[in-house]
Amino acid sequence: MARRRKRGRDITGILLLDKPTDMTSNKALQQAKFLYFAQKAGHTGALDPIATGVLPICFGEGTKFSHFLLNADKKYRVIAKMGQKTTTADREGEVVEEKPVNVTEEELVKVVQQFKGTISQVPSMYSALKKDGVPLYKLARQGIEVEREAREVTIHSIDIVRFESDEFELDVHCSKGTYIRNLVEDMGDELGCGAHVQELRRTAVSHLQLDDCVSLAQLETMKQADEKLAMDELLLPLEKALHHLPIVELDSDQAYYIRLGQAVQLSGMPQEEEFILKDPEGFLGIGCIDDDGKVAPRRLIKQTS
């Protein structure tokens, strides 16, 4: 039997999408894939439906490298409402507790300081984490609560952007796996009045910035105008999207063995665990140092004929 031909274009690159609010990350991914008529696509870490902002979409060979962005630091702008706790720790949940707000900006500054550095978070039941293959949020909607292990995350910085009588706005730079809803709720507990997320916007994934993102509405307008070339020009080359990693240059012979899956010895070996591999023709993929101290391939792009 003949193999079924894949539908769509075999395109490779990374699209910086500004995800709209009230849409799941998977739906945003599927819409972007449809607009580009792409064979293969994946995103680099889900945003909550209410959240907006940077959602890198990987097309084609880019899907091989999505976890490098998934594991990268993130930045967020969050607006928190004090005086109310909700079931989901954001505006979509039911209010379960209300308290008067008598918080000063000085008190907020002190609480913010407590959450900088390495902290422990227990993931919310309303998260995409899975228990026996079932997302926690689906269990929560059935009234089922399961035990979750605390995890350590790093808050690199928190800056207070705005403080009002019952609201505050923060810029947060954090490690992968940080739950901003949990952070806000924990801050509300420390302030003694409770708090939940009112608005959440991801402003950066590693070095990839919100200012460089495009919206689904913009893509739809371009597609309707048959501006396919302009749409393709929005896709970042994989090397640029992984620019936060150091680069190791290989000559043609070294690249030949790397493509065969073999490790090579280099002078001036890189100190980092992972790095970009390039040969005279361009981007090869991601490499690492093996147990023998040699440069080995970790993830390579498909060779074009």
Of 179, 180, 148, which is closest to residue 171 (Cα–Cα)? Answer: 180
Alpha helices in 71-143, H assignment, sequence order: 105-114, 136-141
**SS3 label, residue 190:** helix
Integer-rounded Cα Rg, in Å, for the chain is 22
Token code pair at residue 222:
């371009």
Backbone angles phi, psi at 232, to 5 degrees: -65, -30
Residues 6+ apart with CB under 8 A from 20: 28, 52, 215, 216, 217
In the chain, beta strands by DSSP E:
13-19, 41-43, 52-59, 74-82, 84-86, 95-98, 117-121, 130-131, 134-135, 151-163, 167-174, 195-205, 208-209, 247-249, 274-279, 282-289, 295-300
48 is known as an active-site residue? yes
Residue 234 identity (one-letter amino acid): L
CA distance 216 to 238: 21
- The token duo for 53 is 């902002």
- Candidates 15, 86, 14, 16; CA nearest to 50 is 86
Annotated active-site residue in 18, 48, 90, 186:
48
Q: Which residue is it, tokens 């607006």?
A: 79
Half-sphere exposure of 133 (CA within 13 A, CB side): 0
Residues noted as catalytic: 48
